[in-house]
Amino acid sequence: MNGWFLKSAGVAAAILFLSAVPSCTMVTADQDPPAAHGGSVRPNDLATQATPAWKPGVILSAETGEPSSFEDWLPRLRGVDVVYLGEEHQNPEHIKAALLVLRSLLAQGRRPLLGMEMFSWDGQPALDRYVAGETDADQQFLEAVRWKQNWGGAFEDYAPLVAFAREHKLPVLALNPPRPLVRRVVKDGVEAVVKGEEAARWGMKGEELVEDAGYREAIIGQLKACHGGGTDRDYEGMYEASLFRDEGMAKTIADSLARMATDGDPTRGPFVSYTGGGHIQYRLPVPNRVQRRVGPGVKQMTIYMTSFEPARPDEVRDLLIRHIADYLWLTPVGPQGPPRRCR
């Protein structure tokens, strides 16, 4: 889930939210990159960089600060196995950006796979039928994919992505574990859940869920900053829900890469992961877990999409200096206005 939460949401609401929709990782305004990640705030060379080139549509390298047009940046996708697009939820400009990536890959003769946080594993059969053209995106489809139960937002926000995949017969993979399973993690703890039969049903029984110090530091720190007043158990439950979801997403991507490696189709790929930006921050939530599962040879790229307001360039500088992702894609502000960071 995208990481823009207000303190006023409250701990109880956050726990309910995490049990209902994908895990929430938050980028707070003042938090340094997690030390255990091996990162620290980068040198202040970017802080004095002029910003005339910063405008919607520009893609900035977090390594150099160099701005590129989409056309100039596109060749950097060559040879990449997984492309992570991190969105601000309910920003149609980010859907347009994702469609631009997919269209460009098709134009290069590639057949990308699209993974979406907005669907859960229990909706995969219905999603497959829709993409195959066997059903329409009507109320029956939404019920079959358990949209309301697993995501709950307006399907219209994401319909263009799913419709594009259907038009071009591109596989769409549900990235998230089912809501009831995540609720059980919040209630009973992740250690108990991965030993149970419900986890076995979804291929998660006995699954290794790696405790990464940098990830824990980032998630717990952000939860406390954005949802003050909780107990240690509150935060641990939310943290374990995040861990379970991110590990589940990583498993879905890694399993897909393994299938692609054996299907004999050289045009297949890359895997395009479309989630909230919080799932890719510092590569900790999902990308590093995919690398652990697949091996060090997997080539991954993270792109953090963010609304750009010329009057607030410091927010862009902050994300670059903290190296939130490999690239920062500046987009127009969505109809709901710029995201607000908790402080």
Residues 109-153 have pLDDT tens digits of 999 999 999 999 999 999 999 999 998 878 899 999 999 999 989
What value, to the nearest 5°, has the Cα angle with vertex 18 and ends 16 and 21?
A: 105
Average pLDDT over residues 6-33: 46
Domains of the chain, residue spans: 7-331
Distance CA 274, CA 77 (A): 16
Confidence of residue 32 (pLDDT cuts 50, 70, 90): low
CATH number of 7-331: 3.40.50.11550
Average pLDDT in the chain: 87
With vertex at residue 254, the alpha carbon angle to CA 250 and CA 259, rounded to the nearest 5 degrees, is: 150
**What is the DSSP track for 27-90?**
--SSPPPPGGGT--PPPGGGGG---TT--TT-EEETTT--EE-HHHHGGGGTT-SEEEEEEPTT
pLDDT at 169 over 70: yes
- Three-state DSSP class for 307? strand
Going by pLDDT thresholds of 50, 70 and 90, the confidence category of residue 80 is: very high
Whole-angstrom Cα distance, residue 330 to residue 308? Answer: 6
Give the residue with greater pLDDT, 9 vs 179. 179
**What pLDDT, on a 0 to 100 scale, did the predictor assign at position 323?**
95
Chain CA centroid to CA 119, Å: 12
Q: What's the rounded mean pLDDT across residues 269-287?
A: 97
Tokens of 38: 């091996």
Provide the pLDDT confidence category of residue 52 given band limits of 50, 70 and 90: confident
pLDDT of 341: 64
